[in-house]
Amino acid sequence: QPLPSHTGFVCAAEFSPNGNVLACGNRARSARLWEVGSGKLLGEIVPKLGPDSYVRLVSWSPDGKVLATCVPHGVHGNTEARIHLWDARSGSLLRTFKTRTQPVPALAWFPTGSGLAYGGAKTQLWNSSTDKMIREFEPPSNALAWSSKGEKLAVRRIGGGDVSICAPHSGLVLR
């Protein structure tokens, strides 16, 4: 049975690590959290958005305590994308990170939960505790996937669709 309708087009969906909650980002300018078993709406996260913004990406931290959302058009007319980190239980905003590129077509937590990788004109790694950029490297990407221990990052290149395997700590392309 489908979940009750959103008021806007769903742009992204991701299950929590335990599989009990589904987060959905939408064009109605929010991220909704659904209990998978019952289909009950658990909550709604509503970032402060510019007039043309929406929640484009959602990504759960590995422990399921934090939900990252990406807003591609920034706020109040800014053109930078914003990544927001939310406490998944309370819905309170923990941090906002201004990206260096726009749009951000991919977002993925480090397997350790200590940071995020995001795609765009360059692939960028960010420490979520210190709010500092760790590394930025080629290739530009629109899809990302970490190996289980975080020693490799698969990067789908923008344009050609080829996939590269990178060493995130050095930024070197391995394949």
- 147 pLDDT exceeds 90? yes
17 burial class (0-12, 13-18, 19+ CB within 10 angstroms)? middle
| ω into 62 cis (within 30 of 0) | no
C-beta of residue 28 within 8 angstroms of C-beta of residue 41: no
Mean pLDDT of 36-63: 83
Q: What percent of the chain has pLDDT over 70?
A: 86
| DSSP class of 37 | T
C-alpha 66/C-alpha 85 separation (Å) is: 6
- 47 pLDDT exceeds 60? yes
Least reliable range by pLDDT among 49-53, 58-62, 65-69: 49-53
Mean pLDDT of 126-131: 86
